[in-house]
Amino acid sequence: QLGDECGTLEILLSWIPESGNINTIVRIQSVFRAKLARIRRQIKAKERQQAAAIRDLAKEESVRKKVISLKEPDEIKVEETPESKLQSKLMQVQEQEHELE
């Protein structure tokens, strides 16, 4: 059984060496520890790549919001809904009434 704070890897061997072959057991353990360490390094590398991708997406979103906020109001394309058309028409009528007064 190999283990650390991240978990335990249990390996069952059908062959049990004689007590004089302790070096064989130590070699087997070292091979499995090396494989386990390599897998952990690969996982950490993938986690770093994911974190970098998330940071890049957040940065792109931030830049996109800044660009939109810097545009002139007439450059921003807004889809008009029936409610917004009525609202703009009402504002035009109110402006015309105000000018007539």
By residue range, what is the domain housing residue 30? Answer: 2-100
Q: How many residues does the chain have?
A: 101
pLDDT beyond 70 at 85: no
Q: Mean per-residue pLDDT for 79-96?
A: 68
Q: What is the pTM of this model?
A: 0.44
- Number of structural domains the chain divides into: 1
Q: What is the pLDDT of residues 21-51, one digit of tens each?
A: 777 778 888 888 888 888 888 888 888 998 8
User: From CA 13, how far away is CA 21, in angstroms rounded?
Assistant: 14
Q: Mean per-residue pLDDT for 59-77?
A: 67
Q: What is the pLDDT of residues 71-80, one digit of tens each?
A: 655 555 555 5
